[in-house]
């Protein structure tokens, strides 16, 4: 067995072999069929090529490979989806042959008798079988009986998922497995399903909000007064130029995040009577260190915004001495993230449009999504048109509007048929008054005839498939409201990636519009300014 250098990645565990070493070990296995060795070798070569890294720099660890491969798309790689699936399968085979995957059994592996009995009970439940299949085979392979399953084994199963699979989100999958197991235990109790309840873990480690009951009334009163000060609601205690409601809400959110950070440092906020006591230098440093360490010992745009909100309260709203002003000034220089031009994230996103192929994929995406949705529509399930079709059609309309009217997601979500939309000569006009736009610049767009016709068909045939026609929003939600802004944003981002291979958020459509326009018409900055509604 070869034991030379394991991997050349300075950021990876040096005890883990590289993809290059894995390939060499597979090639030396004379007990493995020659064609199979060649197929595996080709797959490992492809992975390195797709990740644009030398094989020696890629650790043979799922923790490294899984997130990297999740970003790959057959369109951008110019390969078929089947080829990617085959490469994934061959990678798993390589792991098993090299002894890197020993706990999870292959998908085709048989279950033992005890687990087969439970498998038979859920024969008609496709979802349950999908979720529990890997767990059943894992336990069979580890000689664990159904009656022996417990939270410790469940945790070990998660570890195996993370170490030995390319499952997109192991923690979410594990969470679902525990939930489905418990549901089956209740549903098939009489049939003999083991009455074992698994703890359904919560993997929301990024959530840190502290409840209002953990904060004193004095602090809450101070924050409410500050919001009034910013909003202009009180003519005698407000700033001369009031903030917009969305900005007031943003400040309030940042200050509550600041409170939550202090809570997680162990500070009892019920014993502190004023928010003023929490904006001192020691308290500010305490909260910011918590954010800093949580973010991997680095600041971020989000952290900088929280710090700025605290500074506004401490310096602008309250009386502050020179030392405090100087302290906050130096802190902002360290904590606030500043970029000349686009941020690295947005630069990377715009880099996708450096070739004509990506641009064509982008501009043709609405038509592609529409065609896919329309093809699904004839299929009905229990007399109802499939929601998958509506999701595709809705994404097509949203994306096409953003291409020709690159508004912010909030404005896109808020489009009402009776307020923002008008029709002249068969073309749709979108108008957003200044009080609804972030920087108080009114926006007006006239969409092309073909796009307008597609929006009309969406309104007539699709918009109200699952919600009342009385809902006034172009993208309707429940209880007469618009569709949730976050949900529509995720829907757009997913549709873009799934069907074009491009990674783009709704807000980045604005940057894309500017890039494509300036690439086609260099120097037309005034046009870009007007299209985006910049001052």
DSSP codes joined into one string, 415-480: -BTTTTEEEETTEEEEEE-GGGSTTS--EEEE--HHHHHHHHHHHHHTTTSSS-TT--BSSB-GGG
Residues 159 and 239 in one domain: no
Of 307, 335, 363, the domain-final residue: 335
Q: Provide the 10 A C-beta neighbour count for residue 301.
A: 12
Complete DSSP assignment for 19-32 = HHHHHHHHHT-TTS
| Cα–Cα distance for residue pair 218/431, rounded to 1 Å | 43
- Residue 499 belongs to some domain of the structure: yes
Query: Which of the listed residues 300, 318, 335 is the one where a domain comes to its end?
Result: 335
Both 27 and 157 in one domain: the answer is no
Token pair, residue 373, equals 């949705």
Mean pLDDT in residue range 156-179 = 90
Residue 424 maps to a domain: yes
Q: What is the pLDDT of residues 446-473, one digit of tens each?
A: 999 999 999 999 999 999 988 888 999 9
The pTM (predicted TM-score) of the whole model is 0.74
On the 0-12 / 13-18 / 19+ scale of CB atoms within 10 A, 201 is middle
Predicted pLDDT at 1: 43
Name residues whose C-beta falls within 8 Å of residue 98's C-beta, 6 or more positions apart in sequence: 17, 22, 25, 26, 60
What is the distance between the alpha carbons of residues 8 and 399, in angstroms, rounded to a whole number? Answer: 42
For 75-86, what is the mean pLDDT?
A: 91
Task: Compute the average pLDDT of residues 313-331.
Answer: 94
Please say if the pLDDT value at position 509 is more than 70. yes
From the number of C-beta atoms within 10 Å of its C-beta (0-12, 13-18, 19+), residue 125 rates as middle
Structure tokens at 510: 């604005």
Q: Can you tell me the distance from the alpha carbon of 460 to that of 397, in angstroms, rounded to the nearest whole number?
A: 13
Q: Of 283, 314, 335, which marks where a domain is finished?
A: 335
Q: Residue 66 burial by CB count (10 A; 0-12/13-18/19+): exposed, middle or buried?
A: middle
**Residue pLDDT, tens place only, 272-310:** 999 999 999 999 999 999 999 988 899 998 999 999 999
Enter the DSSP assignment of 380: E
Contact 177, 132 (CB under 8 A): yes
Mean pLDDT score of the chain, rounded to an integer? 90
Question: Do residue 403 and residue 518 come from a single domain?
Answer: yes
Asked whether residue 200 is assigned to any structural domain, the reply reads no
Same domain, 330 and 352: no
- 328 shares a domain with 349: no
Highest-confidence segment of 73-82, 207-216, 279-288: 279-288
Asked if residue 396 and residue 491 are part of one domain, the reply reads yes
Q: Supply the pLDDT for residue 489.
A: 96
Confidence of residue 204 (pLDDT cuts 50, 70, 90): low
Is the same domain home to 256 and 329?
Answer: yes
Q: Examine residue 175 and state whether it is found in any structural domain, yes or no.
A: yes
C-alpha to C-alpha distance for 501 and 506, rounded to whole angstroms? 15
The answer to whether residues 226 and 274 touch, using CB atoms and an 8 Å cutoff, is no
Pairing mode of beta strands 421-424, 380-381 = unpaired
pLDDT of 11 reads: 54
State the pLDDT at residue 15. 74
Report the distance separating Cα 391 and Cα 369, nearest Å: 9
Task: Examine the domain organization and report whether 163 and 225 are in the same domain.
Answer: no
Q: Residues 85, 180: one domain?
A: no
**Residue 12 falls inside a structural domain:** no
Same domain, 352 and 501: yes
Domain that holds residue 123: 113-187
On whether both 440 and 307 belong to a single domain, the answer is: no
Same domain, 371 and 477: yes
Helix, strand, or coil here: 198?
coil
Q: What percent of the chain has pLDDT over 90?
A: 73
Kindly state whether residue 195 falls inside one of the protein's structural domains: no
Structural domains in the chain (count): 4
Query: What is the average per-residue pLDDT within 304-328?
Result: 95
pLDDT at 109: 76
Q: CA-CA-CA-CA torsion for 7, 8, 10, 14, nearest 10 degrees?
A: 20
Highest mean pLDDT among 93-107, 222-236, 332-346: 222-236
As to burial, measured by CB atoms within 10 angstroms (0-12 exposed, 13-18 middle, 19+ buried), residue 278 is: buried
Asked if the structure places residue 102 within a domain, the reply is: no
Token reading at 416: 């009402």
Name which of 189-193, 270-274, 439-443 the model is least confident about: 439-443
Confidence tier at 413 by pLDDT (50, 70, 90)? very high
Q: pLDDT band for 131, please (50, 70, 90 cuts).
A: very high
Tell me if 106 is assigned to some domain. Answer: no
């Amino acid at each position: 067995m070869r034991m030379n250098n394991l991997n050349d990645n300075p950021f990876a565990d040096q005890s883990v072999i590289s993809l290059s070493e894995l390939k060499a070990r597979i090639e030396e296995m004379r007990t493995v069929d020659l064609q199979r060795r060649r197929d595996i070798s080709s797959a490992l070569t492809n992975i390195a090529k797709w990740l644009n890294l030398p094989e020696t720099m890629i650790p043979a660890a799922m923790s490294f490979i899984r997130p990297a491969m999740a970003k790959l798309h057959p369109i951008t790689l110019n390969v078929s989806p089947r080829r990617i699936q085959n490469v994934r399968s061959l990678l798993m085979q390589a792991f098993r042959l090299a002894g890197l995957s020993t706990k999870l059994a292959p998908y085709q592996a048989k279950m033992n008798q005890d687990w087969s009995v439970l498998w038979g009970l859920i024969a008609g439940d496709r979802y349950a079988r999908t979720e529990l299949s890997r767990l059943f085979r894992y336990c069979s392979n580890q000689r664990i009986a159904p009656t022996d399953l417990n939270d410790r084994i469940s945790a070990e199963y998660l570890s195996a998922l993370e170490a030995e699979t390319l499952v997109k989100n192991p923690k979410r999958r594990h969470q679902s497995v525990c939930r489905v197991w418990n549901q089956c235990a209740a549903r098939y109790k009489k049939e003999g399903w083991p009455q074992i309840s698994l703890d359904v873990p919560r993997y929301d480690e990024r959530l840190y909000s502290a409840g209002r009951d953990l904060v004193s009334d004095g602090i809450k009163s101070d924050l409410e007064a500050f919001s009034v000060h910013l909003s202009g609601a009180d003519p005698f205690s407000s700033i001369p130029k009031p903030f917009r409601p969305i900005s007031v809400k943003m400040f309030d959110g940042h200050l509550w995040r600041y409170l939550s950070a202090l809570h997680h440092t162990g500070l009892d906020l019920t014993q502190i009577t004023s928010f003023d006591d929490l904006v001192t230098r020691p308290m500010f440093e305490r909260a910011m260190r918590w954010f800093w360490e949580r973010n991997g010992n680095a600041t971020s745009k989000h952290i900088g915004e929280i710090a700025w909100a605290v500074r506004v309260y401490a310096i602008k709203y309250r009386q502050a001495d020179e030392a405090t002003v100087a302290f906050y000034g130096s802190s902002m220089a360290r904590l606030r993230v500043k970029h000349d031009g686009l941020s690295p994230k947005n630069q990377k996103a715009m880099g996708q449009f450096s070739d004509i192929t990506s641009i064509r994929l982008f501009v043709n995406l609405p038509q592609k999504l529409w065609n896919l949705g329309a093809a699904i529509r004839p299929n009905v399930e229990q007399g109802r048109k499939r929601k998958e079709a509506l999701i595709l059609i809705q994404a097509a309309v949203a994306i096409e509007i953003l291409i020709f009217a690159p508004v912010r997601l909030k404005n896109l979500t808020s489009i009402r048929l009776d307020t923002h939309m008008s029709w002249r000569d068969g073309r749709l006009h979108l108008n957003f008054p200044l009080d609804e736009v972030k920087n108080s610049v009114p926006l007006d767009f006239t969409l092309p005839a073909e796009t307008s016709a597609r929006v009309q068909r969406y309104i007539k045939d699709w918009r109200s498939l699952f919600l009342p026609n009385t809902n006034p929003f172009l993208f309707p939600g429940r209880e007469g409201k618009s569709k949730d802004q976050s949900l529509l944003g995720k829907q757009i981002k997913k549709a873009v990636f799934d069907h074009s291979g491009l990674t783009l958020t709704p807000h980045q459509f604005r940057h894309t519009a500017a890039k494509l326009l300036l690439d086609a018409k260099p120097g037309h900055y005034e046009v870009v300014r007007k299209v985006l509604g910049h001052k």
